[in-house]
Amino acid sequence: MWSVLGTAVHKVFEDHTGDDVISEERLFVELDGWVISGAIDLQDSEGPIDYKCTSVWSVIHDKIEWENQLNAYAWLMRHAKNRISKRLRIVAVMRDWNRRESQNNESYPPAPIQTLDIKMWTDDQQDQYMQNRIGLHQYAEQASFAEEKLPLCTDAERWTRPTTYAIKKRATPKSKPAKKALRVFKTMEDAEKFISERHDNGVYHEIETRKGLHTRCDQDWCRVAEFCEQWKDNQ
């Protein structure tokens, strides 16, 4: 559903761009025998702009993937069109934005749509990043031909969400737990310690295990998961 919404958001913005910008242009650059391509949502006089239908969490907590992506776009523009970027931007459409939360929390985004400035690297840093990515693909290709195991994806690349342990209150041993967690811990030991150290007379607690997942793999964001031994090993 979210991917469909994201496609719709891209379409709406694409249909309402001005004559002084370039929309949905795919660029190609050859590097070390590999062809690198990228379809940039929008290019204006200052640089690339990418549209994201995303969560509030992603806006509050900087995502390194966005920084990598926008700098790769700037690299493409520089090498394919000799255009130097001055800024890197993301237009974030937050699907779970809450007006009340924005009024009560200063760190919360003030509006459901925001333009975010993304950190821009030096030309040398962009060049080195692209060289490193090519190196990883070359290594994976060689390993595949040799029938060796492919390099494993990192937790960051798999959008891993770790298992957590939420403390919830109960009025009685048989009553339903509160919807909102009192505290959330990374380990069961910390959760149990928290309960043992509390002195809430007449209040009962339970620990809810919130099972982690590899979001990119488990929720069908990766197009090659069905061929991936790492993903199969985790089933």
Angle at 37 between CA 130 and CA 76, to 5 degrees: 55
Write down the pTM of the prediction. 0.72
Q: What digits encode the pLDDT tens for the residues 172-198?
A: 878 888 888 889 999 999 999 998 888
Hey, where are the domains in the chain?
2-142, 163-211
Would you place residue 228 in the very low, low, confident or very high pLDDT band (cuts 50, 70, 90)? confident
Enter the DSSP assignment of 27: E
pLDDT(1) > 50 = no
Q: What is the pLDDT of residue 71?
A: 98
CA 207 vs. chain centroid, Å, equals 28
User: What architecture is the 2-142 domain classified under in CATH?
Assistant: Alpha-Beta Complex (3.90)
Q: What is the pLDDT of residue 2?
A: 47
Q: What is the pLDDT of residue 151?
A: 80
Q: What digits encode the pLDDT tens for the residues 48-94?
A: 999 999 999 889 887 899 999 999 999 999 999 999 999 999 999 99
What span, in angstroms and rounded, lies between the C-alpha atoms of 111 and 120?
A: 24
Q: What is the pLDDT of residue 159?
A: 86
Backbone angles phi, psi at 27, to 5 degrees: -110, 150
Single-letter residue type at 37 = S
The residues, ordered by sequence, that sit 6+ positions from 2 with a Cβ below 8 Å of its Cβ are 53, 95
Match 């997942």 to its residue by tokens.
213
Q: What is the pLDDT of residue 11?
A: 57
Q: What is the pLDDT of residue 234?
A: 80
Enter the DSSP assignment of 200: -
Q: What is the mean pLDDT of the chain?
A: 88
Two tokens, residue 44? 């204006």
